[in-house]
Chains A and B, each alone.
Chain A
């Protein structure tokens, strides 16, 4: 199985900050990567697919980049609604696996 490792596990930030979350794959996954946002008690919400494509309806302050084994999710000008846990997921080869999550907390 391909292991997905996110860093950091927790991130403290303020409203208006630029935030970057990293996801590393244990082997190359090309651009077969998605990012999700999850709030407590809620289902994950798709933000980014194919590493850098913004899902319809997602604010443009969210962006994704990377290919191969290293990927980043960037949130420009963090908003109060963005405090949540973020997960990456690969879909390069079965089984699909997720990162362990990055919790973005209020500083």
Chain B
């Protein structure tokens, strides 16, 4: 059974860079796409972007200038960096497997942007 687990950065200061890692266990990262999605408290879901195990990426245009997703298949991990964060970036961040439909999800981690 594939399992995903996000790291827990907790609090990030405005204008800094949010960094998250998703650890994948119970299966290989090879031949799959890996995604990030976020959900502001009490609100709906927003697709951030995905990365293929080989490294090719696709990002939501609304975040593209600030987002970088990378992959480390040797350690079964992929990562999200979101720069110049503001309070609007406060959300639960989820990692998931898939390019289209998302079939396995991490439990999510709340990232709060505050000074």
Tell me, yes or no, whether A46 is within 8 Å of chain B by CB: yes
Question: Measured between C-beta atoms, what is the minimum distance from A55 to chain B in Å?
Answer: 7
Q: Which of B44, B58, B105 contacts A101 (CB 8 A)?
A: B44
**B residues in contact with A46, CB < 8 Å:** 101-103
Interface size class of B (residues with CB under 8 A): 10 to 19
**B residues in contact with A43, CB < 8 Å:** 94, 96, 105-108
**B residues in contact with A101, CB < 8 Å:** 44
Per the 8 Å Cβ criterion, residues 85-107 of B in contact with A are 94, 96, 99-103, 105-107
Once the chains bind, are B47 and A95 in contact (CB under 8 Å)?
Answer: yes
Q: How far is the CA of A94 from the CA of B100 in the complex (A)?
A: 10
**A residues in contact with B99, CB < 8 Å:** 91
Once the chains bind, are A94 and B58 in contact (CB under 8 Å)?
Answer: yes
Please report whether the interface of chain B is mostly helix, strand, loop or mixed according to DSSP: loop
**Binary CB contact string for chain A from 33 to 76 against chain B (1 if under 8 A, 0 otherwise):** 01010000011111001100001000000000000000000000
Tell me, yes or no, whether B27 is within 8 Å of chain A by CB: no
Once the chains bind, are A34 and B101 in contact (CB under 8 Å)?
Answer: yes
Please report whether the interface of chain A is mostly helix, strand, loop or mixed according to DSSP: loop
Q: How far is the CA of A89 from the CA of B46 in the complex (A)?
A: 10
Q: How far is the CA of A97 from the CA of B45 in the complex (A)?
A: 8
**B residues in contact with A34, CB < 8 Å:** 100-102
Q: B105 — nearest CB in chain A belongs to which residue?
A: A43
Once the chains bind, are A100 and B61 in contact (CB under 8 Å)?
Answer: no
Tell me, yes or no, whether A98 is within 8 Å of chain B by CB: yes
**A residues in contact with B101, CB < 8 Å:** 34, 46, 49-50, 55, 89, 91
Question: Measured between C-beta atoms, what is the minimum distance from B109 to chain A in Å?
Answer: 11
**A positions within 8 Å CB-CB of B:** 32, 34, 36, 42-46, 49-50, 55, 87, 89, 91, 94-101
Q: Which 10 A-B pairs have the closest CB atoms?
A: A49-B101, A43-B105, A91-B100, A34-B101, A95-B60, A98-B45, A96-B47, A100-B44, A46-B103, A43-B108
